[in-house]
Structures are given as structure tokens and as C-alpha cells.
């Protein structure tokens, strides 16, 4: 009997102080190696990131794969020297003198932007850089077999396309070689599952540069899946007591000034549009529209809670260099919801949102979450008592669900505490999706009221919540989670008929048309290819079920069925295939 070894745990840098020191030290060793091999290279910034580190260099020649191998080899030499890592605190004048002596212009700009204390970290007496740390005590603590240089990419200095283009070398470093091997395996899996490649291969969506970067075109199969997701979402919300809204795509600029978005979110908003001497703004958020809908007439306490939900398309400016498939776009549809409630209703409403979130995410195959609770920051709006009420409501709901969570004390927004839910996919990656945010700000900004039981006018508590986050990003996560091999109920094509000759085409089409009327997503391969090629094409397209149609099948009113999960199932009566397909779809099971 073989026992499958437990998966290697791959912590993120922010979860491990030791990894933070390892990766920060590895980045400095890499920069030292680069400057030893390429003396003309100027260093800029070299931070740790969640799964490794990088350093940006200004170098006249592009780094190649061969260069990366040479740099790694030089890093091993440096590590074997076991150089001590020495922290030195200096005055600004002394740091300026040393930087000028090295002729490092980017360091001068970095120095100008940092505050005291100014610290340098030395690798022995051979190399140093401006840095706040932390680091290992000695480079010899690094394991060369747990370090890998991964790739080179272009990066504008300070992320601004008006600045020089630098070369960014990405690397990763771990405590053990086993962790590195597990990470590289995960990375290969991620590449195999890349939603951008699969989106093209399966003809689900595209980004048409002729129309503009970050704008998504949903192709027929992708649109079919989107409609399925949207209909599921709407039905789930209607069952949970939400009212559905449709709101405009733009509004007068003054609305965004009232909401505060113009002041706090301006960099992520597109330029205003001039209309008849007035300025209108493409919406970056749906919240103010839901607030206006609530405000349309005065509500009684008896009407609360009021729950609004909308699949609302929003538009946000993202730099072209940050756009990434469906994960970061300029136009996307948020599954927004806003609840207006009484203070004593907050806990119950939060629990209702968590229940709905669990139901929806689990139905799409996500059952493993990481939950974070962010509490009141130093600067905030609203009454202390209401903050306490809302925070306790969030905690009580999580405890009722028996969900473990991490508490980020002081990490909430200035306008209210929040819960963030990250889902874990099939290869262990975490994706931020669902958010529940209590808001004490917008109700006051817009003067929202309700008539309380004593006849007084009171301000309702507002809860923002999203479950998918955005349809586009969630669809990208779905593609990568399933590697494009979607479960039967979700697949854009559930069954494909494979006629082995033109004379069997009409028989297949007749069945297909009847099943399409029942709501089954089926199609007929009309290519006329040989059977082997028909099957291979179906496998490549990741069709869950294929039905071969030939002379024997037409004569006996059967279909020879093949599934991706179970292989060849043999000849089955047409009626049985239909019933099994419907039952499997309705119960979200395999055929």
C-alpha cells in the first residue's frame, strides 16, 4: 500500500519572518553578483515579494537566459564566502557622499524619499545598498539549492512609463530544496492553467488591442458561461431577499465629489467627459448609485433591512503595464451588493452574507478559504460605539460559521471594519474574491435617513459586499482552477456529437436540436474528419461528453458515449443518455 506524502507547505513571505529575511538577503546577493559580472549595471530597488524577490537594474544590454545562469553561479560563490550581513546607520550627508562616490543615480533618488534613520546593509566589506532590512546575519545561511532565478522583465522606474525602462530580474528563495521544487512544480502547473492561453485555445474571450487594452470581448462560449454564472447569481440573491438593480454607466462628476471618490480615488478614474458644458464620469464604483436608489424616498425602520444587488459594469484606469488578461482590466462587472440596516440587524445581515458567500463559492468548487478581519485604524470616521458594534458583529458571524480568521488590528478602512475572503484553488494558490465592508461614511455624506420607531430620523448602517469580486476576474480564476476542464454543469459545451460520416449528420442534428430546446448545451461536429481526429478534437476542446454516431447507432437508436472522466461507456439508448445528462447537470455531478 502506497501512502501519498503530504504536500509541501509553501508559505508566503508575509507569513514568515524567516522567509522575509532569506528573500531580502538573496536579493542583495543577486544584486552584488550582477554588479560583479556587469559593472555598468546600476541598482535601483530590490524588495521581497510574496513568492520570492526581484531587483531592478539599469543596464545597457538585455540580460539573457545565459546571463541568469552566470548570475546564479556567482551567487553561489558569494554564499560560500559566508559574508556577514552588517547593518550600519548613517547620516543623510554620509549616505549622499557614498552614493555619489559609487555613481549610483537611482540611489540618490531613493535617498531623497526616505526618512531617518538611514540604514545601509553591507555584505562583508564587498557590497552595500540602502535598505531598511530585515536580513539574515550571514549570507552563508542561504541554501544555494533552494534559490532559483526565474525570469527577466521590463519595468519602468517607479512604475511610471515616462521614466526609463529598467530590467527586472525575478528570483525565488526558500528554506529547503524541497520547498523550491514544490514551488517550481506549482509554477509549471500555473503556466499550464494560464487563463490567457486557455481562453484563446477554448475560444472563450479575447482582448482586442484595436479596441483598447484591458477591455474584454466575451466570445460565444465564454458568453454562454457568463450567462450561466449571472443567472445562478441572480437566482441565489433573489432567494436570499435581495432586490436587483440596474444603474447607469456614468454620472455627473458632482456625484463622485459627494461620495468622496473624486478626492480619494481620482488616480483610478478615467478623465471626465464633457457634455453640454457639464462634466460626467464613468463610474468606478456602483455604491453611490445604490445610495441614490435608497434615497429616492424616505424609509421606515419597518422596511429595513433593504438589500440591493447589481451586476454593474465599472471602469477604472489601470496603467497599460499592469493589465493582465482577465485579472486586471479597465472595464469589469462587479457583483455588488449593498445592505441598509438598523444597528441591531448588522450581526444577522453579516451572517447572511457569509452564508450566501459560502453557498455560491462552494457551488463553483471553492471550499477552502483564508479569512481576514480588519479593524478600526488610527484615523476613522463614525462613532466609537458603532465601530464596536460592527466589529463585534463581524467577529460573531465568523464564530457562528466556525471559520478561523486572522485579525489585522488597525487595518480597516477609515470608514468601517471589513472581512476579506481568499479562495484556494486546485494548486494551492490564494485569490482575493469576497469582501464584506461596513461603511459609516457614505450614509453621512449623502444624508441617508430612516424613520425610527420613536419617529426620529436616524442614519442607517450600510454594508458593502461582493462575492465574486468581478465576473471577469472570477471567470479567469475558474479557468485556472479547472485548467479549462470545467465540470459538466458549467461547461460551455456539455456534449458533442461525432458523426462518422455525412449520412449520419441529420440524425445527430435532430437529437441535438431536441436537447437544445431542453436547455442542454450540445453541438454537432460537422467537420467530416475521421473518427480518431473527431475524438482528439473533442479532447483538445475539453468537451465533457462525446457521443459517436454511426450506422449501428442510427439503426439501434443509440449513442456510443465517451466521457473525459470515465472513458468509453459503450452504446447507450438515446433516451438514457438524455436522462443521465439532465440528471448530472441538475445535480452538478459527472455524467
**Residues marked as catalytic:** 287, 316, 334, 336, 338, 418, 464
* CA 251, 214, 221, 469 torsion-angle sign: negative
Helix (H, G, I), strand (E, B) or coil at 519: coil
Q: Which residues contact 157 (CB under 8 A, 6 or more apart)?
A: 44, 56, 58, 106, 163, 164, 165, 166
3-state SS assignment for residue 569: strand
Q: How far apart are CA 342 and CA 267, in angstroms?
A: 34
- Give whole-number Cα distances, 545 to 98, 459, 470, 522, 591, in Å: 68, 55, 30, 9, 8
At residue 281, φ and ψ (nearest 5 deg) are -130, 130
Nearest one of 267, 266, 263, 258 to 287, comparing CA atoms: 258
Grid cell digits, residue 415: 470608514
CB contact at 8 A, 154 and 166: yes
**CA–CA separation, 173 and 453 (whole Å):** 61
As a whole number of angstroms, the distance between CA 18 and CA 298 comes to 56
423 pairs with which residues across the strands? Answer: 369, 431
What pairing do the DSSP bridges indicate for beta strands 243-244 and 205-207?
unpaired
Asked whether 187 and 440 are in contact (CB, 8 A), the reply is no
Are residues 96 and 134 in contact, defined by beta-carbon separation less than 8 angstroms? no
Other C-beta atoms closer than 10 Å to the C-beta of 441 total 17
Q: CB under 8 Å to 338, separation ≥6 — which residues?
A: 286, 287, 290, 291, 294, 307, 308, 462, 463, 464, 465
- Helix and strand tally (H, E) in the chain? 18, 29
Best CA proximity match to 150, nearest among 95, 72, 86:
72
Whole-angstrom distance, CA of residue 504 vs CA of residue 525 = 11
104, 43 contact by CB (below 8 A):
yes
Tell me how far apart the alpha carbons of residues 358 and 433 are, in angstroms, rounded to a whole number: 12
Give helix 505-517 / helix 574-586 axis angle, nearest 10°.
40
As a whole number of angstroms, the longest Cα–Cα distance in the chain is 92
C-alpha cell at 67: 546571463
Provide the pairing of β-strand 545-549 with 495-499: parallel
Angle (CA) 10-11-17 rounded to 5° is: 140
How far apart CA 504 and CA 506 sit, in angstroms, is: 6
268 vs 315: CA distance, rounded Å: 9
Q: 194 in helix, strand or coil?
A: coil
Amino acid at each position: 500500500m502506497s501512502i501519498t506524502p503530504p504536500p509541501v507547505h509553501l508559505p508566503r513571505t508575509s507569513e514568515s519572518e524567516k522567509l522575509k529575511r532569506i528573500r531580502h538577503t538573496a536579493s542583495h546577493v543577486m544584486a552584488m553578483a550582477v554588479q560583479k559580472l556587469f559593472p555598468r549595471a546600476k541598482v535601483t530597488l530590490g524588495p521581497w515579494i510574496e513568492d520570492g524577490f526581484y531587483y531592478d537594474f539599469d543596464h545597457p544590454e538585455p540580460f539573457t537566459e545565459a546571463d541568469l545562469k552566470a548570475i546564479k553561479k556567482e551567487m553561489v560563490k558569494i554564499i560560500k564566502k559566508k559574508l556577514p550581513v552588517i547593518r550600519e546607520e548613517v547620516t543623510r550627508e554620509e549616505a549622499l557622499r557614498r552614493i555619489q562616490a559609487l555613481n549610483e543615480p537611482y540611489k540618490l533618488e531613493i535617498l531623497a524619499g526616505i526618512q531617518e534613520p538611514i540604514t545601509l546593509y553591507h555584505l562583508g566589506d564587498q557590497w552595500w545598498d540602502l535598505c531598511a532590512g530585515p536580513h539574515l546575519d550571514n549570507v552563508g545561511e542561504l541554501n544555494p539549492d533552494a534559490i532559483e532565478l526565474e525570469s527577466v522583465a521590463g519595468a519602468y522606474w517607479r512604475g511610471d512609463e515616462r521614466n526609463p525602462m529598467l530590467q527586472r530580474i525575478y528570483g525565488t528563495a526558500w528554506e529547503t530544496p524541497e520547498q523550491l521544487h514544490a514551488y517550481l512544480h506549482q509554477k509549471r502547473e500555473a503556466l499550464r492553467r494560464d487563463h490567457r492561453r486557455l481562453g484563446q485555445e477554448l475560444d472563450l474571450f479575447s482582448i482586442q488591442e484595436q479596441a483598447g487594452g484591458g477591455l474584454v470581448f466575451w466570445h460565444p462560449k465564454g458568453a454562454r458561461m457568463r450567462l450561466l454564472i449571472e443567472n445562478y447569481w441572480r437566482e441565489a440573491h433573489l432567494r436570499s431577499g435581495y432586490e436587483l438593480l440596474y444603474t447607469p454607466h456614468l454620472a455627473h462628476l458632482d456625484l463622485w465629489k459627494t461620495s468622496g471618490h473624486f478626492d480619494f480615488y481620482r488616480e483610478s478614474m478615467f478623465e471626465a467627459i464633457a457634455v453640454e458644458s457639464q462634466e460626467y464620469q464613468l463610474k468606478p464604483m456602483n455604491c453611490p448609485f445604490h445610495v441614490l436608489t435608497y434615497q429616492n424616498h424616505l424609509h421606515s425602520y419597518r422596511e429595513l433591512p433593504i438589500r440591493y444587488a447589481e451586476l454593474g459594469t465599472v471602469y477604472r484606469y489601470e496603467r497599460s503595464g499592469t493589465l493582465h488578461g482577465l485579472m486586471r482590466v479597465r472595464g469589469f462587472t462587479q457583483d455588488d451588493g449593498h445592505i441598509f440596516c438598523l444597528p441591531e440587524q448588522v450581526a444577522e445581515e453579516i451572517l447572511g452574507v457569509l452564508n450566501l458567500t459560502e453557498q455560491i463559492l462552494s457551488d463553483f468548487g471553492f471550499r477552502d478559504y483564508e479569512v481576514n478581519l480588519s479593524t478600526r485604524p488610527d484615523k476613522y470616521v463614525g462613532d466609537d460605539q458603532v465601530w464596536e458594534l460592527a466589529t463585534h458583529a463581524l467577529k460573531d458571524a465568523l464564530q457562528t460559521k466556525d471559520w478561523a480568521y486572522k485579525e489585522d488590528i488597525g487595518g480597516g478602512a477609515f470608514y468601517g471594519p471589513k472581512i476579506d475572503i481568499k479562495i484556494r484553488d486546485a494548486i494551492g494558490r490564494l485569490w482575493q474574491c469576497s469582501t464584506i465592508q461596513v461603511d459609516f461614511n457614505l450614509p453621512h455624506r449623502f444624508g441617508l435617513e430612516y424613520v425610527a420607531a420613536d419617529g426620529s430620523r436616524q442614519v442607517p448602517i450600510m454594508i458593502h459586499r461582493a462575492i465574486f469580486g468581478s465576473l471577469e476576474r472570477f471567470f479567469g480564476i475558474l479557468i485556472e482552477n479547472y485548467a479549462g476542464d470545467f465540470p459538466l454543469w458549467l461547461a460551455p459545451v456539455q456534449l458533442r456529437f461525432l458523426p462518422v460520416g455525412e449520412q449520419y449528420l441529420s440524425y445527430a442534428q435532430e437529437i441535438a436540436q431536441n436537447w437544445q430546446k431542453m436547455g442542454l448545451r450540445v453541438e454537432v461536429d460537422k467537420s467530416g474528419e475521421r473518427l480518431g481526429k473527431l475524438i482528439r478534437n473533442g479532447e483538445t476542446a475539453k468537451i465533457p461528453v462525446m457521443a459517436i454516431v454511426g450506422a449501428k447507432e442510427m439503426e439501434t437508436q443509440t449513442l456510443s458515449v465517451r466521457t473525459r472522466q470515465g472513458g468509453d461507456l459503450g452504446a447507450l439508448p438515446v433516451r438514457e443518455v438524455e436522462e443521465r445528462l439532465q440528471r448530472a447537470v441538475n445535480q452538478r455531478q459527472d455524467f
